Amino acid sequence: MGWGGSKGAQHLTIHWDAEANVSLFDWLIPKRAILRSYEAAILESVVAACDAPVSDLLAQHIACFTSVTRLSRDKEVLLYCKRKGKVDFPSELLFADKRDEAKLATATILNPDNKQKLKVDVWLSGGQLFSLTFNQSPNDFFQASGSSELLHRNIEVKIWFDPTHCSSNKVVSIEQSIGNIEARIPDDYLTLYEATDKNTHDAWSILSPNSVRTVVLDEANYYILAEGPHAALMVKQESQDQVIYFVDLETDEIQAVGTSLRAALRALTGHNEDSWPPAIKRI
């Protein structure tokens, strides 16, 4: 499998038969005990989908993990390498792409009985494999299947970019970044982002398509489009209604605020239509 050149991200899809390859990849995870079987199968499928040296480095990342934290009904899995009681990932194993958050891969497992899909995004942070985020509770998904045989069916994997090349938010195209957002975003989001002044320092910031982050909560996952003092404006993952949600990050209280990002920000910043756009920073 090739990357088709080093420019830009390539969408690479494979079908991984976990049952046929599990013995081949036993050596990848010497600390397999800290991972659940489906987490191990997903990570192994991602390794198999990558070319060297990415696959080699990923295998070493996995071998480093000594601690796992699971949040929001196990929909978010944080992976840590601890040495002498402290989080300490080996710097020599870091990828060249050291963005704060970068989605390396998406794995999909299909339940053939009810057609539900378990989708898993695999994230890098600061050049290291760091987290898995699921679109639904994996426990609910596998319980609904009534069998663990789904792990032995094909896992579809998409690799979004090559992390061995240095990257930045400017390198990744807006079109590609929008394509990575699994939700219908507000119609005025891009226009509003392009109209704001990136050099000002207002209380609210509109995130670029390349900087949109995922928030995993118990009831659903969200994408942050704008953030302010202890608050954010988000859209729900896999939604098509364009509804924007305001979240108080101190209390985790969420409420719908319409489908216009412009109107939501205008209400929050106290600006009227005549003074729009206000001095909101874009990042």
Residue 90 has what pLDDT? Answer: 92
Torsions phi, psi of 17, nearest 5?
-95, 100
Give the SS3 label for residue 277.
coil
Instruction: Tell me the per-residue pLDDT of 247-270, one tens digit each, with 9 for 90 and over.
Output: 998 888 899 999 999 899 888 877
Residue 218's pLDDT is: 85
What is the DSSP track for 70-137? EETTTTEEEEE-EETTEE---GGG--S---SSEEEEEEEEE-TTT--EEEEEEEEETTEEEEEEESS-
Stretch 50-75: mean pLDDT: 94
For residue 223, give the 3-state DSSP assignment.
Answer: strand
Collapsed DSSP state (helix, strand, coil) of residue 143: helix
pLDDT at residue 38 is higher than 80? yes
d(CA 186, CA 190): 8
pLDDT, average across residues 130-154: 79
Burial class (CB in 10 A: 0-12, 13-18, 19+), 241: exposed
* Percent of all residues in the chain with a pLDDT value above 90, rounded to a whole number: 45
| pLDDT of res. 25 | 47
pLDDT in tens, 99-114: 888 899 999 998 877 7
Residue in 198, 221, 183, 213 with CA at minimum distance from that of residue 100: 213
pLDDT band at 136 (very low <50, low <70, confident <90, very high): very high
pLDDT tens-digit readout, 221-251: 999 999 988 899 999 998 999 999 999 988 8
Confidence of residue 116 (pLDDT cuts 50, 70, 90): confident
